Structures are given as structure tokens and as C-alpha cells.
Amino acid sequence: MKFKTFLLVIAALCFFSCEKKNASPIGKWETVTTTNFFWHYSFDDRANACKELPKMFPGTRFCFDYEVSNSSFSKVILTIYGQTKETWEWTFLDDDNEVADVLVYSDTASVASQRFILKKIE
């Protein structure tokens, strides 16, 4: 009887742990660590990516189109079509997908890649 209960508990844990959704950048994010400015970012489900510097230019937003090219449980790769085309590689650091290590590559050779941590605020 104990063995059957044990198997039932294991099966239930496996069943409920399999329901995890793919990670997504949709929402509002703030920069936690960076070597540059502390931007706020927002990504919506209509493929609009916006960024703002609330401490320096409150109310001013820069918005661009984006598309997700690859998504899994803990990683998202997306392309932002701004002044220069950028590829953002998100690696989520927690199970709730609310903290991400982001690596940004630019198509422009003179622009160095950037790395920063984003925290979801909405």
C-alpha cells in the first residue's frame, strides 16, 4: 500500500511539473545591473518593444518592432528592429521567469555586445 501511494505521489509530481510554459519577454522590465544606463523596457504581445530612461527623460519612450525567433522553458532569442538590428538572448534565472540575464548583439560591427540583468516589474 505504501509503495502504491509513493508511486501515485511521484506520478502527480511529474504530471504537474510538466505544465511549465515557454519563457516570454512580455511585460515591463527594469535594468538591475549594467555598465551603461538603467533603462526600463516593455514588450507587448503585438511585437512592440519600448525602452525609456525614467530618471533622465521621464515620459519619453523609444519603441521598435521585435520578433521572437526561438523560445524554450528558460531561454528566449528575439530580434529588435531599431536604428540597428539587435539580437537579444534572454536566459531566465528563476522558475517564475521574472529575472533574466540578457546578452545583446548588434548587427553593427562598431557596437560592442552588452550584458545586463532585467527584473520583471509588471
Task: Look at residue 112 in the predicted model and tell me its pLDDT.
Answer: 84
Residue 2 φ then ψ, to 5° = -65, -40
Please list, in sequence order, all residues whose beta carbon lies within 8 angstroms of the beta carbon of residue 28, skipping any fewer than 6 positions away.
40, 41, 42, 120, 121, 122
Residue 11 φ then ψ, to 5° = -65, -40
- 88/8 Cα distance (integer angstroms): 42
Which residue ranges make up each domain of the chain?
Answer: 2-120
pLDDT tens-digit map of 29-75: 999 986 778 899 999 999 999 999 988 898 899 999 999 998 888 89
Task: Look at residue 11 in the predicted model and tell me its pLDDT.
Answer: 55
Joined grid coordinates for residue 92 = 531566465
**Global model pTM greater than 0.85:** no
Topology (CATH level 3) of domain 2-120: Lipocalin (2.40.128)
- 90/110 Cα distance (integer angstroms): 22
Tell me the pLDDT of the chain averaged across its residues. Answer: 85
Task: Look at residue 18 in the predicted model and tell me its pLDDT.
Answer: 54
> Strand pairing partners for 76?
71, 90
